[in-house]
Amino acid sequence: MGKFGGLRALVTPHMVDALTSALDSCDLPDSFMKGAEECDGQFLEVAQLRHLCQSANDAKPGSVSLHDVLKGSELSMAPLPQRERNPELVARLERLKSNLAHREYGQMVSNVARKDHHEPSLGQQYRQVTVQTTVIFNSFLTVIGSFVFAFFAVRYLGLDVIAQVSAGLFVGTLVFFADLYFIMRDELGKEKGMPRSTKESL
């Protein structure tokens, strides 16, 4: 690539007049002559214009200069040539894209499947709620039954109502905390993977 490699100038009427007055039309390139006739945005390489100026100065020293020829023109860089892509490289890139997309899809499906596997089903959730509700209801009945038992047991001893209520509350409270202990122990045993214990096993 020369000194002006890639740089080009727009053909203008002034450029046409300057070069045609210094050179014969047969010495000018076809693209220059086409631009001189149409002036529709034809470009010439600056290196080619420099060569034309040198040819004119060789024939007539000092007849024209590159600076004078370029006066009023527009300079721009020639578009870079499009390189042809290697078919083998293109095919390899397509394979890599396909493998990457397949891998991402596999990970996404795997995550969804793992999530579905760990989440309990609707039936399991219903059974858990039923078991918990049954435990709470049984505990409530046990506490109420203990209170009633202690209340009437003290009544048969001939004590007053205050003593009956105090005895009922005392026994009911003991039974409540005992039930609470067994419930919490069973829940902790489930979390640790231990077999569920019952009151009868103690």
* pLDDT tens digits, 134-155: 888 888 888 899 898 888 888 8
What pLDDT is stored for residue 200 in this prediction?
A: 43
Predicted confidence (pLDDT) per residue in 167-198, tens digit: 889 988 998 888 888 888 887 776 665 444 44
Report the C-alpha gap between 97 and 87 in whole angstroms.
15
Burial of 158 (0-12, 13-18, 19+ CB in 10 A): exposed
Q: For the stretch 21-60, what's the b/e string if a residue is b when 16 or more beta carbons lie within 10 angstroms of its beta carbon? A: ebbeeeebeeebbebbeeeeebbbbbbebbebbebbeeee
How many CB atoms within 10 Å of residue 147? 20
pTM of the model: 0.35
